[in-house]
Structure 1
Amino acid sequence: MSRVVVVGAGLAGLAAACHLAGRGHEVLVTERESLPGGRAGRLESAGFVFDTGPSVLTMPQLIADTLGAAGVRMSDVLTLRRLDPAYRAVYADGSTLRVPADRAAMRAEIAAASGPVDAAAYDRFVDWLEQLYDAEWSRFIDRNFDTALDLVSSPRAAARLLRLGAFGRLGPAVRRRFADPRLHRLFSFQALYAGLSPDDALALYAVITYMDTVQGVWYPDGGMHAIPAALAAAVEKAGGQIRYGADVTEILRRGDTGAVAGVRLSGGETERADAVVLTPDLPVAYRRLLPELRPPRAVRKGTYSPSAVVWHLGVRGRVHDDIAHHNIHFGHEWASAFDALLHDGRLMPDPSRLVTVPSRSDPGAAPPGASTLFVLEPVPNLTAGPDWSTEAGPMRERLLQFLDGAGYPTDIVAEEMVTPLDWERGGLHLGTPFSLAHTFGQTGPFRPPNVEKRVPGVFFAGSGTVPGVGVPMVLISGKLAADRIGSYLGTGPR
């Protein structure tokens, strides 16, 4: 039986472990923290429960597939509920738009707010999104690449993407389809998930818009941390082992071939391994565990996504009935705000912000009569921007003023603010939780590979490698790493 050590019990590592254990490998997951989840962690304070990582969940079938790989049915361990609306969008002029779960209801929402022409355009827009998704998913997202030539291994798919305009820019593609500028923002802000402005992102990233606004946004009973908890239980049920409080400090190699032989833990003990999956942020993984190797160019000199300030708040009082689980507050500025953030390395002068209210869907997230809030503002990563040792206080005051003006309760009982400095202390390069931006030169086969050929048996999973950033993508990255190991060890994926 082959033995695989997975370093890190975040979503990518747990996904890899589910697939590996389900395929018959002996699996050990090492995690330096005391609970699973990695960035998808959990914090409790004064009776409030905060999810410290991703707040928006799409593509639940990928969670079901990952659990299924370990022989576990999702319905037995995790309950997901579709949010309706997926989002409430609030604009600087005071108007609002909701994104209902039903396509016909979304069309009606657009008709009422923007008129019949844009409502009709919505149907054509969804058709376009579905075609993009169909052309991209299996051939360009859910697959391993060995060389850039793999891009033309499916010439029909590539030609179809060209016909669909996938290699144009997302912002102009959306503007061509709708007249109402509010819809331009609603259907293109997702580019920021890829670390880019809508006018810089390739139109192929409209698949994120498709996941968000068509396939829907979901929320687990018990909060987002219920996902890694379910995956960890599945790993153990499939025969894998998870060791918490275990920090890997060295990759051990064979003297004859240089291939992986195991890992050394911070306490000095060693664990044998035929293969190792590394899930720390790639620059950190190379620096700490592969210091003798020169990292790939994209890791060293690539374009990294902006960061974010996240403010977790436990407040007295319940939110008003018109406030949704996810609320996007768009600033008046748009292009200039992205220019400041992405090109000038400055705080957005008129920022757009996401406010998530977990207690809206999970009463257990807050004490009776109280609310849990998650406030996110995009900010530059640590290559530029303010000094967060002094800027955190003023940022808190601005966010507090914003929440109060937007009608949220602000009688604070518990709080935790996370700045780029905190992300960096947590092991994220340049203080960004969003890793390498999805520029064309950092997408698909041009993204850092998930196999380190100079050390046979070392593989990667997570947002820095293929296919990229976001909960769906890192779950896929775990499967792709498991596929690589199957090929390396001669067992193959099942």
Structure 2
Amino acid sequence: MRSVAGPTDHVVVVGAGLSGLACALHLLGAGRRVTVVERDAGPGGRAGRVRLGGYEVDTGPTVLTMPHLADEAFAAVGDSLARRVELVALHPAYRARFADGTSLDVHTGAEAMEEEVRRFAGPAEAAGYRRLRHWLTELYGAQMQRFIDANFDSPVQLLHPDLARLAALGGFGRLDRQIGRFLSDARLRRVFSFQALYAGVAPARALAAYAVIAYMDTVAGVWYPKGGMHAVPRAMADAAADAGAGFRWSAEVSALERSAGRVRAVRLASGERIACDAVVLSCELSTAHQLLGGAPRRPVRLSHSPSAVILHAGGDRTWSDLAHHTLSFGTAWKRTFEELTRSGTLMSDPSLLITRPTTHDPALAPPGRHLHYVLAPCPNTTVGPSAESWRSLGPRYRDSLVAELERRGLDGFAASVEEEMLVTPLDWAAQGHAAGSPFSVSHRFAQTGPFRPRNLVRGWDNVVLAGCGTTPGVGVPTVLISGKLAAARITGGRGRSAAPPSVRSSSTSPRAGSA
């Protein structure tokens, strides 16, 4: 593995999101002095927090999987995630509600889920689920350490026995067809393939290897951090500060001072100059390219994942059939992905993620009140409506979204709302997210693994990238790994990710309870 040559005693990390904080902790654990520069007033990045009246609102991800990856970062400085954050295992991980009125609780315990599938779709599908679970676990095992938790210097590194193992498992087939080998019920197939949207690819075109995301969601387990997802980066920043990291809050990097191929200092918009031996850019990829004076040449222009409209709503009522996370599927499926990724139109029959964090954390809302987070995928601004058009489109879409929620059983939703915040591609673009998408560069084959923008920057001897735009990709688990991989480029280290408990003992998970 190539690593930064020369002195690396003092490292400046630009960005205090999950990847930057993970990188900082791993660097501190390796004996480096670290300064973290963040343009916002506090940590989190995409996993931020806003106060909405009396409500505490997570502005980014709401689903936490693979928490052992966060714990690795804490462990680097002799700390632990459990010491800093209380995690609640979610049972069910999700509740799936379908247009035909049926619903399915998605458990991560093998026996509980098999029983639920049997109730929902019969014994043949239950047996298919058991085989699917085994396949997902094998797929994860074939990919994690070789293709996800790995720094690539060349595509030649793909030539390894694990590649043959992945091919033998069908990882290079199409996701929907591989899921269909195990499950014939169309509703169940959606539950195990909707995750392709996280990668920015429709299930019909996504590689089956992306089912590893379904493994994380439906086998490894889903957790909720008390205090909200923002509690994780907040705790990471506290641990880094306790381990000696310096922080510059509300500080924007304006330039990198370069000499003989190396960055010698980071300059802030305030005029402050921070001398350093190496730099990690964990900011948005397009922002990193601006600081570097341009993006590296690629044969094909980078494409970005679909975006999302999010409605944060605090109100005086909730609905008992909502779990902590509820997937509300429309009738349409293939057409939905066509609209999101190709035609660039809003979903005509939307599939939605509804999160109710006050299910397990009522302190996020005033007494007797409830907080709901409704995520509706939408096209990014490259293939769909422009960012500016969302200025007028947003309020109209909000009203249609609320009407759809009421049609799907959340009667009285509109009247219940006391505080709300609507986030659209206009807002994502204003935050600097390319194509108005918070999900960064998509995971088409040509933008995956060694073909994704690399974390070592050609022509810059001591600059490393971290975050969802580089290796290994989008999602909370992968950006945590990204921070570790960036640190390894500087220290020359290579810590392996520990296998989550479900890999070591996937058939002995306890039976899940109710929402």
Instruction: State the TM-score bracket (shorter-chain normalisation).
Output: over 0.9
In the other structure, the counterpart of 1:313 is 313
Is 1:93 the counterpart of 2:100? The answer is: yes
Tell me, in whole angstroms, the C-alpha distance in 2 between the residues paired with 1:249 and 1:202: 39
Q: Is the 8 A contact 2:342 2:383 kept in 1?
A: no
In the other structure, the counterpart of 1:384 is 383
User: Which range is displaced more, 423-432 or 377-386?
Assistant: 377-386
Q: Secondary structure at the match of 1:76?
A: helix
Matching residue's letter, 1:88: R
Q: Secondary structure at the match of 1:198?
A: coil
Is 1:325 the counterpart of 2:324? The answer is: yes
Q: Secondary structure at the match of 2:204?
A: coil
How has the CA–CA distance of structure 1 residues 312 and 471 changed in structure 2, closer, same or farther, with 3 Å as cutoff? same
Deviations 1:26-84 (A, max 9, x none): 10000111110001000112211100010111001111111111221222111111101
Tell me, in whole angstroms, the C-alpha distance in 1 between the residues paired with 2:364 and 2:449: 38
Deviations 1:182-225 (A, max 9, x none): 10111100000100111111101111101101111110011111
State the Cα RMSD in Å.
1.3
Matching residue's letter, 1:344: S
TM-fit CA distance, 1:402: 2.0
Match among 425, 440, 445 for residue 440 of structure 1: 445
Q: Is the 8 A contact 1:82 1:101 kept in 2?
A: no
Is 1:426 the counterpart of 2:425? The answer is: no
TM-fit CA distance, 1:493: 5.1
Tell me, in whole angstroms, the C-alpha distance in 2 between the residues paired with 1:272 and 1:294: 24
Which protein has greater RCO, CA pairs closer than 8 Å, 6+ apart?
A: 2
TM-fit CA distance, 1:4: 0.2
In the other structure, the counterpart of 1:79 is 86
Matching residue's letter, 2:474: V
In the other structure, the counterpart of 2:336 is 337
TM-fit CA distance, 1:241: 1.1
Tell me, in whole angstroms, the C-alpha distance in 2 between the residues paired with 1:326 and 1:51: 14
In the other structure, the counterpart of 1:295 is 296
Q: Is the 8 A contact 1:40 1:228 kept in 2?
A: yes
Match among 173, 181, 194 for residue 176 of structure 1: 181
Q: Secondary structure at the match of 1:222?
A: coil
Tell me, in whole angstroms, the C-alpha distance in 2 between the residues paired with 1:336 and 1:77: 44
Tell me, in whole angstroms, the C-alpha distance in 2 between the residues paired with 1:220 and 1:74: 10
Match among 20, 27, 31 for residue 24 of structure 1: 31
Q: Is the 8 A contact 1:482 1:493 kept in 2?
A: no
In the other structure, the counterpart of 2:5 is none
Is 1:259 the counterpart of 2:266? The answer is: no
In the other structure, the counterpart of 1:400 is 402
Which TM-score applies when normalising by structure 2? 0.92
Matching residue's letter, 2:401: L
TM-fit CA distance, 1:332: 0.4
Tell me, in whole angstroms, the C-alpha distance in 1 between the residues paired with 2:494 and 2:243: 16
Matching residue's letter, 1:404: E
Matching residue's letter, 2:312: H
Q: Secondary structure at the match of 1:34?
A: coil
Q: Is the 8 A contact 1:284 1:429 kept in 2?
A: no
Matching residue's letter, 2:477: P
Q: Is the 8 A contact 2:285 2:469 kept in 1?
A: yes
Matching residue's letter, 1:20: L
**Runs of 5+ unmatched residues, structure 1:** none
Q: Secondary structure at the match of 1:9?
A: coil
How has the CA–CA distance of structure 1 residues 134 and 273 changed in structure 2, closer, same or farther, with 3 Å as cutoff? same
Q: Secondary structure at the match of 1:167?
A: coil
TM-fit CA distance, 1:307: 0.4
In the other structure, the counterpart of 1:42 is 49
% identical aligned pairs: 49
Matching residue's letter, 1:402: E
Deviations 1:318-337 (A, max 9, x none): x2332100011111011111
Q: Is the 8 A contact 1:283 1:295 kept in 2?
A: no
TM-fit CA distance, 1:109: 0.7
In the other structure, the counterpart of 1:362 is 361
Q: Is the 8 A contact 1:175 1:184 kept in 2?
A: yes
Alignment of 1:236-247 (within 5 A): 236-247=241-252
Is 1:268 the counterpart of 2:275? The answer is: no
Q: Secondary structure at the match of 1:173?
A: helix
TM-fit CA distance, 1:8: 0.5
In the other structure, the counterpart of 1:304 is 304
Tell me, in whole angstroms, the C-alpha distance in 2 between the residues paired with 1:182 and 1:48: 35
Match among 144, 156, 162 for residue 151 of structure 2: 144
Q: Is the 8 A contact 1:5 1:27 kept in 2?
A: yes
Tell me, in whole angstroms, the C-alpha distance in 2 between the residues paired with 1:393 and 1:220: 31
Tell me, in whole angstroms, the C-alpha distance in 1 between the residues paired with 2:182 and 2:241: 49
Which TM-score applies when normalising by structure 1? 0.96
How has the CA–CA distance of structure 1 residues 294 and 85 changed in structure 2, closer, same or farther, with 3 Å as cutoff? closer
Alignment of 1:453-468 (within 5 A): 453-468=458-473
Deviations 1:439-490 (A, max 9, x none): 1111100000001130111110000000000000000000000000113xxx
Q: Secondary structure at the match of 2:435?
A: helix
